[in-house]
C-alpha cells in the first residue's frame, strides 16, 4: 500500500471535479479524501501503487468536460490507514481562488433525460447538472453556493435535494438544480402583458405565435432574445423596423448541425466550436441557397449561426417546425440587452408581439458570443457568454489592476495575480444605460473575484465615459494608455509574449498623441512603452462622427487632397452622385478646419475606397462599408497599387494618395470593382510588408503582432499573415480576445501595471 498527496490546479472548482475524484477513487478501491483549497483541489489517496497510478492517469486523461487542469503535482507520503473515501468541506477561511464558470450549454446527459418521457424532468425547460447550465449569469456573490445565486428563491424538493447531496449523483452540488416540482417555470403573456386565454401551455402558445410570424421576446440565459422565423422575409423586416436596426446582420439559431450545414459552409473547426459547450454564434460563409430570408443578413457573405444552448431553446425547436429562428439581443439599437421581466415588458413594448418569460432571475446580463475561425483557430469578435469570466492566463503575476476598455464594444479586464478576467461584452458606451451596466460590471467583477483593483487603466480619449469613470476615482491611481499601444499589448499578452514587437494596429478610431485621431499605426511596442514608427498619411475627416456614418465624406477628402477642386472633373461619376451643395459645405469644413480632424485611420481609408467603388456612401452600422468592400475581394494576388513612403522624418509616413489615385484611374478605365478591391487589399498587405522589412533591418526585431478592428477583415488578415510569414516574420494575431476594441481592456491592464512599476 502507498499514499500520495495530489494537488491539482486549473479550472477545477464548480465544475464537478470533486465528485469526479470521488467516483474515480471509489471505482479503483482507493481510500482517502478530497477538498477544495485556495488554489485548486487537494487529494490524498491510499491503495495499491498500480491503482494510484491509474487514478492519476484518469485525472489527466478524462477530467470533467468543464475542467482544465493546468498542473498536477503528487508527493509520496506515509500511509495512515484510511478506511473510506470522503469529500471534505472546503477550507472556509482560506483565501479562495474559485474560478466562476461561464454559463454552459445543455449537456448530452440532460438532453437525453429531457427527451425521455419516463424521466421526471421530461420536457423541463430548466434541466441542468454539474456539467451544464447557468453559472455566471445567476451569481450574486461568492462563494458560489445556491443561496448566493438567483436560485435562492427556489427550495429544492426531496428528490432534487437528494441528488444535490449525493456525491455519486451527477447533480452533486449543481447549484441551479431544479425540476418541475420545485424549480423555475415558464410564463406566457401577450404584447399587452395579458396571459393567453386559450392556451395554458406557454411553450406551445409561443411556438404557435412564432409560426404565425409574430415577434416573440424570449427570456434566455443572459438576457432576452427577440425571436422570429428566419425564413419569413416579411417577419424579419418587421423586426428590423421595430428594433430600429436597418441592415446590421442578425444571428440565427438552427436546430442541429445538419441544418447549420445547409445554411453555411463549415470547416471541421467551425463545427467543433459551434457545437462546443460554449455554443457561440459562429460567423461562417453563407451558402448560395441557404434556407433563410435575405433580410437576415442583406449584402453580407457571412451568416452568424448558433445552436440551441438552453433546454428551452431545444424545446422550441422540438415543439415547432422551424428551419431557423432569428435570435437577436432584445434591446433598442445599442442599449444593453434586457434581463428582467418587468423591464422587458416596458422596454420591448411595441417591439415584441408576445413574451415567453420565466421566474429564474438573470442576475448578470451576458450577450451571445460571436467568433470566427481563422486558420483553424478561434478568432473572437465578441467574447461573452460561454467564455466570460474564464480567465486569460498571463505569464506572470501583476498587481490588481483593471483595464476599463474604450468606448465601442467595451469590455473591462480585472487582473488578479497571473490571470486576466475579461468581462462579458458591455457594449457601446454611448448612453446612460450602458454606462450604468459598465459600472455594475466593474463592481461585480471585483466582488466575485474578491479583488479590488489598485490601479485603473483608461483610454486617452477625454470624451469616453470610461475615461470619465477613471478620473472620478480619487483614491486610486489611474494610468492613461494609448489606444493602439493597448491593442498591441493585448495581442502580446494573450500569447504570453513580452515584446518588443512590431505591432501593426489598424482600426477605425483611436486617440493618439497631441489630440490626433490615429488608426493606421505601426508601432515598436513592448509591455511598458511604444514608439510610433510609421503611420498612414493623415487626411482630413470632415464632420467627425458624420464621416464615419457617411464614407463618401472620406472619399471626398482623399479626392480633395489629390486633385483639389479639379476633383469634380477628374472623378465625374463620383461628382454626379453627390450634389454640389453638399460637397461644397464639406470642402469648406475641410478648408476652415471646422469640426474636421486629421486622421491616419486605416478604417477610414477602407471607407473611402468603398465609396469610390460606389459600394456604400452611407452606412447603417459601424464598419459596413469596409465589410462590403472585403466581400467583393477575391483571394488571388493580382498585383497591387503604388504608394510612397516618406522616411525623411520620424515617424515614417505612408502616403496612400497614389493608392487612391490608382483606384480612380482604374475605375475610369472601366476595371472590374472586384479586381480593384482585390488589389486594394493586396496593397495594404504589401505596405505592411515593406514597412516591417525596413523596421526589421533597423531593429533586428522579427516578432509581429496584428491587432485592431480592421483585422476583422479576414481577407486582409490572411494576406498579411501570408506575406509576412513568407518573409520569415514570426506573426501573431488574436485567438483569445477580440482584435477589435473588445480586447482593449486586457492590453490597458498590462500596460498600466508596467507603468505603475516604473512610475510612468
Ligand atoms: Zn447537464
Ligand atoms: Zn425538484
Ligand atoms: Fe481600436
User: Cα separation of 726 and 732, whole Å?
Assistant: 14
d(CA 364, CA 235): 30
Q: How far is the centre of ligand 2, averaged over its atoms, from the C-alpha of 184 (Å)? A: 10
DSSP, residue by residue, 266-292 = --HHHHHHHTSTT-PEEEEEBPTT-SS
Q: Do 760 and 477 form a contact (C-beta atoms < 8 A)?
A: no
Ligand closest to Cα of 519 equals 3
Q: Which ligand is nearest to the CA of 405?
A: 3
Residue 251 has what pLDDT?
97
Predicted confidence at residue 91, as pLDDT, reads 61
What pTM value is reported for the model? 0.94
Residue 305's contacts (CB-CB under 8 Å, 6 or more residues apart) are 251, 252, 253, 254, 260, 263, 264, 274, 281, 282, 284
Cell matching residue 731: 506573426
Q: Do 352 and 218 meet the contact criterion of CB atoms below 8 Å apart?
A: no
Considering every ligand atom, which ligand is closest to the CA of 104? 1
CA distance 227 to 327: 5
Output the CA 745–ligand 3 centroid distance in Å: 11
Rounded distance, CA 748 to CA 489, Å? 8
Ligand closest to Cα of 745 equals 3
Question: Could you list the mean pLDDT of each consecutive 10-residue stretch along the chain, which spans 760 residues?
Answer: 92 82 95 84 95 96 86 94 87 58 94 98 97 93 85 97 91 94 96 84 96 97 96 96 91 97 98 96 96 94 97 98 95 77 91 96 95 97 96 93 97 95 95 94 93 97 96 94 98 97 97 92 97 98 94 98 96 93 96 95 98 96 94 94 95 98 96 97 98 97 98 98 98 98 98 90
Question: Which ligand gives the minimal distance to the CA of 182?
Answer: 2
Spatial separation of the C-alpha atoms in residues 126 and 178, rounded to whole Å: 7
- Give the residue among 236, 84, 104, 257 at the shortest CA–CA distance from 176: 104
What spacing in Å lies between the alpha carbon of 551 and ligand 1's midpoint?
48
Give the CA distances from residue 53 to residues 32, 57, 60, 86, in Å, rounded to whole numbers and listed in that order: 15, 6, 11, 19
DSSP result, 458-489: EES-TT-HHHHHHHH--SS-EEEE-HHHHHHH
Compute, in angstroms, the gap from residue 524 CA to the centroid of ligand 3.
Answer: 17
Query: What pLDDT is attached to residue 660?
Result: 98
Amino acid at each position: 500500500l502507498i499514499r500520495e498527496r495530489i494537488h491539482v490546479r486549473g479550472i477545477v472548482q464548480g465544475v464537478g471535479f470533486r465528485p469526479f475524484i470521488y467516483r474515480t477513487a471509489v471505482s479503483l478501491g482507493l481510500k482517502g479524501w478530497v477538498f477544495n483549497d485556495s488554489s485548486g483541489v487537494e487529494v490524498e489517496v491510499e491503495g495499491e501503487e498500480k491503482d494510484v497510478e491509474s487514478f492519476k492517469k484518469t485525472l489527466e486523461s478524462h477530467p470533467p468536460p468543464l475542467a482544465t487542469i493546468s498542473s498536477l503535482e503528487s508527493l509520496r507520503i506515509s500511509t495512515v490507514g484510511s478506511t473510506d473515501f470522503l469529500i471534505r468541506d472546503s477550507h472556509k477561511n482560506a483565501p479562495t481562488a474559485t474560478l466562476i464558470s461561464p454559463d454552459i450549454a445543455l449537456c448530452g446527459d440532460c438532453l437525453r433525460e429531457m427527451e425521455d418521457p419516463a424521466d421526471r424532468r421530461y420536457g423541463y425547460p430548466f434541466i441542468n447538472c454539474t456539467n451544464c447550465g447557468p453559472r455566471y449569469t445567476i451569481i450574486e456573490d461568492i462563494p458560489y453556493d445556491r443561496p448566493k445565486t438567483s436560485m435562492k428563491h427556489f427550495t429544492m424538493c426531496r428528490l432534487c435535494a437528494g441528488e444535490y447531496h449525493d456525491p455519486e449523483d451527477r447533480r452533486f452540488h449543481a447549484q441551479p438544480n431544479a425540476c418541475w416540482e420545485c424549480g423555475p417555470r415558464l410564463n406566457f403573456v401577450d404584447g399587452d402583458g395579458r396571459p393567453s386565454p386559450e392556451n395554458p401551455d406557454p411553450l406551445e402558445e409561443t411556438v404557435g405565435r412564432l409560426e404565425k410570424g409574430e415577434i416573440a421576446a424570449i427570456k434566455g440565459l443572459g438576457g432576452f432574445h427577440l425571436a422570429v422565423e428566419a425564413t419569413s422575409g416579411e417577419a424579419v423586416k418587421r423586426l428590423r423596423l421595430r428594433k430600429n436596426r436597418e441592415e446590421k446582420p442578425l444571428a440565427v439559431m438552427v436546430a442541429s448541425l445538419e441544418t447549420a450545414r445547409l445554411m453555411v459552409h463549415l470547416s471541421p473547426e467551425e463545427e467543433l466550436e459551434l457545437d462546443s459547450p460554449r455554443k457561440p454564434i459562429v460567423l461562417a460563409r453563407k451558402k448560395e441557397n441557404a434556407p433563410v430570408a435575405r433580410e437576415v443578413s442583406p449584402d453580407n457573405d457571412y451568416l452568424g449561426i448558433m445552436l440551441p444552448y438552453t433546454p428551452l431553446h431545444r424545446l422550441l425547436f422540438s415543439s415547432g417546425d422551424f428551419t431557423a429562428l432569428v435570435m437577436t439581443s432584445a434591446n433598442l439599437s445599442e442599449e444593453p440587452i434586457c434581463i428582467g421581466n418587468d423591464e422587458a415588458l416596458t422596454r420591448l413594448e411595441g417591439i415584441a408581439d408576445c413574451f415567453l418569460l420565466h421566474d429564474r432571475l438573470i442576475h448578470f446580463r451576458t450577450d451571445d458570443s460571436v467568433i470566427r475561425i481563422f486558420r483553424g483557430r478561434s478568432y473572437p469578435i465578441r467574447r461573452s457568454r460561454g467564455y466570460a469570466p474564464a480567465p486569460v492566463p498571463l505569464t506572470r503575476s501583476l498587481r490588481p489592476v483593471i483595464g476599463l476598455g474604450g468606448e465601442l464594444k467595451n469590455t473591462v479586464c480585472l487582473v488578479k495575480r497571473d490571470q486576466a478576467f475579461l468581462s462579458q461584452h458591455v457594449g457601446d458606451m454611448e448612453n446612460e444605460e450602458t454606462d450604468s451596466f459598465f459600472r455594475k460590471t466593474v463592481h461585480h467583477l471585483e466582488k466575485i473575484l474578491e479583488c479590488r483593483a489598485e490601479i485603473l487603466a483608461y483610454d486617452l480619449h477625454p470624451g469616453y465615459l470610461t475615461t470619465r469613470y477613471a478620473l472620478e476615482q480619487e483614491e486610486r491611481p489611474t494610468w492613461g494608455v494609448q489606444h493602439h499601444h493597448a491593442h498591441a499589448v493585448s495581442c502580446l499578452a494573450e500569447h504570453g509574449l513580452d515584446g518588443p514587437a512590431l505591432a501593426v494596429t489598424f482600426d477605425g478610431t483611436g486617440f493618439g498623441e497631441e489630440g490626433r485621431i490615429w488608426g493606421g499605426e505601426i508601432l515598436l511596442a513592448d509591455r511598458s512603452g511604444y514608439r510610433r514608427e510609421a503611420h498612414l498619411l493623415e487626411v482630413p475627416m470632415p464632420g467627425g462622427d458624420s464621416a464615419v456614418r457617411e464614407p463618401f465624406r472620406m472619399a471626398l477628402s482623399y479626392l480633395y487632397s489629390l486633385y483639389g477642386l479639379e476633383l469634380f472633373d477628374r472623378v465625374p461619376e463620383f461628382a454626379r452622385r453627390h450634389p454640389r451643395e453638399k460637397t461644397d459645405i464639406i470642402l469648406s469644413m475641410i478648408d476652415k478646419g471646422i469640426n474636421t480632424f486629421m486622421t491616419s485611420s486605416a478604417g477610414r481609408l477602407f471607407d473611402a475606397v468603398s465609396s469610390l467603388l460606389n459600394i456604400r456612401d452611407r452606412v447603417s452600422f459601424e464598419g459596413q462599408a469596409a465589410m462590403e468592400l472585403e466581400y467583393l475581394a477575391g483571394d488571388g494576388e493580382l498585383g497591387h497599387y503604388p504608394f510612397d513612403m516618406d522616411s525623411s522624418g520620424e515617424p515614417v509616413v505612408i502616403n496612400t494618395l497614389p493608392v487612391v489615385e490608382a483606384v480612380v484611374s482604374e475605375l475610369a478605365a472601366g476595371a472590374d470593382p472586384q479586381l480593384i478591391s482585390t488589389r486594394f487589399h493586396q496593397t495594404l498587405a504589401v505596405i505592411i510588408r515593406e514597412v516591417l522589412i525596413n523596421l526589421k533591418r533597423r531593429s533586428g526585431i522579427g516578432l509581429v503582432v496584428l491587432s485592431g478592428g480592421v483585422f476583422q477583415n479576414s481577407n486582409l488578415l490572411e494576406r498579411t499573415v501570408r506575406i509576412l510569414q513568407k518573409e520569415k516574420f514570426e506573426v501573431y494575431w488574436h485567438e483569445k480576445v477580440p482584435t477589435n476594441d473588445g480586447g482593449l481592456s486586457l492590453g490597458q491592464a498590462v500596460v498600466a501595471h508596467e507603468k505603475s512599476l516604473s512610475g510612468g
